[in-house]
Amino acid sequence: MTEQQAIIVPQISSLPEHEARARLLVRWLSQQNIIEAQLSTCGRTGLRMGYAIGPGARKVVKHPEHLPYAQPVNGLEIISKRCIYTPTRDFAEEAGCPECRQEVGEALFESLDEWMPGATDNFQCPLCGHEDDINGFLFLQSCGFSNLGLVFNNWADAEFTGDFLAELAERLGFKVRLVRVDL
The answer to whether 108 contacts Zn ion (rule: CB under 5 A) is no
The answer to whether 103 contacts Zn ion (rule: CB under 5 A) is no
- Least distance from C-beta 68 to Zn ion, angstroms? 41
- Least distance from C-beta 132 to Zn ion, angstroms? 10
In the complex with Zn ion, the residue whose CB is nearer, 56 or 126, is 126
CA quadruple 110, 112, 115, 120: dihedral sign: positive
Q: What single string gives the DSSP state of each residue in 79-133?
A: E-S-EEE--SSS-----B-TTT--B-HHHHHHTHHHHTTTS-SEEE-TTT--EEE
Total chain residues near Zn ion (CB under 5 A):
7
The closest of 89, 87, 85 to 112, measured between CA atoms, is 85
The answer to whether 12 contacts Zn ion (rule: CB under 5 A) is no
Out of 128, 140, 166, 183, the residue judged to bind Zn ion by CB under 5 A:
128
Out of 12, 125, 134, 178, the residue judged to bind Zn ion by CB under 5 A:
125
List all residues 6 or more positions away from 33 whose beta carbon is below 8 Å from its beta carbon.
Answer: 54, 55, 56, 57
Site residues, Zn ion (CB under 5 A): 97, 99-100, 125, 127-128, 130
